[in-house]
Structure 1
C-alpha cells in the first residue's frame, strides 16, 4: 500500500529542508515548535502548566483535564524526540485529542533532552513524573488506581522503561501502556526497516543515529535495558500494552519485535500496524484522517483496561 497521500505531501514538502543531523538542536526545537503552533487545538476542560520536583531539578509538566469532574483515568505522556528535539508544546495537539477521546486526565512531561541531558536523564525524569502523577492524581481530577503511561517514538521508549522500573519497584501499579512507534533498540545491527524506510519517508536513518549519538555518551550504555528495552531479559508482569507501528517507518521492525517479546512474556498486548502511515503520523491527529481513526481505536482499547 502506498504512503497515504496526505502524508506524502508532507514528506515531499520536508524534502527541501536541510537534514536534521546538520542543524543545531536549539534551531530544530524552535522550528518544530513554530510548525506545530499552526495546528488547530481542540478545546479541553482545563489546561495547566506546573513545575514538579525531578532528579536533576524541576520538571515542567502540562495537565489536561477533559472537565472539572473527579475520578478520571490518568495518562502520563512522554513526547517523541529522537532523544533531542520536541517538547510538551510540539505535542500539545496529540495530548488534547487523547484527553478528549479517552476522557482522561493527561499529564504531559517535558523530560530532559540530549545533548544537554543525555542518558539516563530522560528515563529518570519520566519515572519521577509518573510517580508524582500517581501520588497527586486525586488533586488533578484523576483516579490513582487507573494510571497509564504513554508516548510516541523516543517517548514510547520512556514509557516502556517507566513501566518496567515500576514493576521492579512494586508500584505504583499501571493499568496499561500505550506505545506509539516505539524506539526499542540501539541500531547495531540495524533492522531491515532502517534500509527499507530510512530515506524518503520522513524520519531518516541518519537522523535517528544522530539522535542516538547525542543521547548515549558512554558506549557501554547502548544496550542498557533503560536505553534499549528490547534487550531486557524479563518482560513478564508488565501492564497491558497497545503498540502502534507504521509501514513507512524505520522503527517498524523494532516496534513489532518488542510487541512480540511482550506477547511471549505473557503480557496482554495489541499490535496495530498501519500499512499506509509513516513515523510521526499520530502527530497529525485532527489533520490526517487515519491518525484520527488510530486515536479512536487506541482509546477504545485503553478504555477496556481502566
Structure 2
C-alpha cells in the first residue's frame, strides 16, 4: 500500500512539474513575442498576425528544447508546423496531381483534368529562407495557381539547409527548370510560355535561375518571372524598409540575418556583423552605391518613421561568407547590365510592412533602366509571406487574396 502511495505521489509530482514547465514556457513565449514585435495601425489584421507570430515563437522554442535533449533536428518543428497548417483537407476533383522525379529531384505537377489542351507552365519555387518550406507546405498555393490560371504548375522540392548545403538547391532548381524548358510538351505545357515564380528565398532562386538561363543560347528562354517579396541583395540591411519594419512580423530584421547565419552553419554572432554592415568596405560602398542608395526609393516609402537599431559589435573572420553574399547568386541586384537587359517580362510584388520591400523596389528600378517590362503591385497593408495563406480557412487575410489576384491576372495575360 505504501508503495502505491509513493508511486501516486511521484506521478502527481511529475504531472505538476510538467504543468509548471508548460506554463513557464508559454509565459516565456508570450514575453518574447510581445517584447520583440510591433504592429502598426495600417497592417492587415494585426491581431491574427500577432497570434501567428506567437505560434512561430512557440515552435522555435519547442524546437530549441527538443533539439538540446536530442529528440529532433534543427527546424524540425517549424517544418512540421508549416506542412500541417497548409495541407488541404480534401482532394481537389478538378485537378490532376502527380509526383515525378526530374534530375533526381521530386517535382509535383498540378493541372486541370479537362479539357486536354496545351497550357502555360508555371515553375514554382517555394520560400522559407532555404531552411524550411516544402511542396507540401505550398500545396494550397500551387492548387490555387493551377485552377485560377489554367496552367500546368511544377513545384520543385529542392533540398534544404543544413541537410543540403549551399549551393546545391540553386543547382537543383536550375537543372529542373532547364529540363522543363526543353521538355515542356511532355507534360502538357507550352515551351514558349514557361513562367518562373518564387516567393521570398524562392524568389531569390527564381531571380538567380532566370539570370543564368538568359545567358544560355542552347535552351528556350522563360516567358516571364514572378518575384514575390524577394531579397535581391545582402550588402545593405539599413535601407528604409529594414529600419521601418525591423520589428514587424512575419520576418523580423534580426531573424532574417540569423536565418542567414544558420543557413551557412555559422554562429549567430555573425548576424551582428551583417546587421551593422561593418564588413562592407569603402570600395564596396562606392561600387554599389548607385544601386543601393536610399535616394532610389520613392519618397512616399521613406517618410514613415524608422527604428534605427543600436550598432552591434564587430566580428571578424567572415571573409568567405562575404564573398558568397556579394556573388550574384545572393545579390542578383548587382548583375551586369548585359545580363539584366536580357531578362524576361517580370512581375514584382512588394509589401509595405516587410523588410524586403525596398529590395523589390530597387530591382524594379534596375530592370526598367535596362528596358525590361515590369508589372509591379504593392500591398499597402501587406506583410512578409502574405500570399502563403491563400485558401487558408483560419489564417486568412484580405491582402492575401488581393495580392494573389494580381499574380493570377498577370499569368492569364501571358
Q: Would you call these one fold, judging by a TM-score over 0.5?
A: yes
User: Could you tell me how far apart the structure 2 residues matched to 1:25 and 1:93 are?
Assistant: 22
Match of 1:35 in 2: 85
| Structure 1 position 194, deviation (Å) | 1.9
Other-structure match for 1:290: 399
Equivalent in the alignment of 1:3: 43
1:174-220 Cα shifts (integer Å, max 9, x gaps)? 11101111111115443222222121321112221122223346411
**Residue 108 (structure 1) aligned to one of 123, 145, 155:** 155
Which residue number in structure 2 is paired with residue 199 of structure 1? 247
For 1:174, the equivalent position in structure 2 comes to 222
* Structure having greater relative contact order (Cα 8 Å, sep ≥ 6): 1
Unaligned runs of at least 5 residues, structure 1? none
Quick check: 1:40–1:93 contact (8 Å CA) kept in 2? no
Q: TM-score, normalised by structure 1?
A: 0.91
Residue number among 181, 186, 190 corresponding to 2:238 in the alignment: 190
> 2:107 pairs with 61, 70, 77, which one?
61
- Which residue does 2:333 correspond to in 1? 230
CA contact (8 A) 1:21 1:210 kept: no
1:49 aligned residue = 99
Out of 281-290 and 172-181, give the one that drifted further: 281-290
Distance 2:88 2:144 in 1: 16
Structure whose alpha-carbon radius of gyration is higher:
2
Structure 1 position 119, deviation (Å): 2.4
Q: Which residue of 1 aligns with 2:209?
A: 162
Alpha-carbon offset, residue 289 of structure 1: 3.2
Q: Distance in 1 between matches of 2:362 and 2:381?
A: 19
Question: Which moved further from structure 2: 156-165 or 131-140?
Answer: 131-140
Match of 1:258 in 2: 363
Using a 3 Å threshold, how does the CA distance of structure 1 residues 90 and 264 change in structure 2: closer, same or farther?
same
Distance across 2 between alignment mates of 1:202 and 1:101? 26
Q: Sort the Cα spacing of 1:169 and 1:4 in 2 relative to 1 into closer, same or farther, 3 A.
A: same
CA contact (8 A) 1:82 1:153 kept: yes
C-alpha contact 2:352 2:381 (8 A) present in aligned 1: yes
Aligned length: 300
Q: 1:39 to 1:265 in 2, by over 3 A?
A: farther
Q: Secondary structure at the match of 1:137?
A: helix
Contact 1:42 1:97 in 2 (8 A): no
Please report how far the alpha carbon of residue 8 of structure 1 lies from its aligned counterpart in structure 2 after TM superposition: 4.0
Deviation larger for 261-270 or 169-178: 169-178
CA distance in 2, matches of 1:224, 1:174: 23
Query: Structure 1 residues 209, 300: closer, same or farther in 2, change over 3 A?
Result: same
Contact 1:41–1:93 (Cα < 8 Å) also in 2: no
Q: CA RMSD in A?
A: 2.1
Q: 1:254 to 1:182 in 2, by over 3 A?
A: same
Question: Which one has a larger percent strand, Structure 1 or Structure 2?
Answer: 1
* Structure 2 counterpart SS, 1:87: coil
User: Contact 1:41 / 1:96 at 8 angstroms: preserved in 2?
Assistant: no
* Structure 2 segments unaligned to the other structure (5+ residues): 1-40, 64-73, 266-319
SS in 2 for 1:85: coil
How far did 1:20 drift? 7.4
Q: What is the alpha-carbon distance in structure 2 between the residues aligned to residue 190 and residue 131 of structure 1? A: 36
Taking the aligned partners of 1:86 and 1:74, their CA distance within structure 2 comes to: 22
User: How far did 1:17 drift?
Assistant: 4.1
- Alpha-carbon distance in 2 for matches of 1:268, 1:43: 37
Question: Does the 8 Å contact 1:39/1:93 carry over to 2?
Answer: no
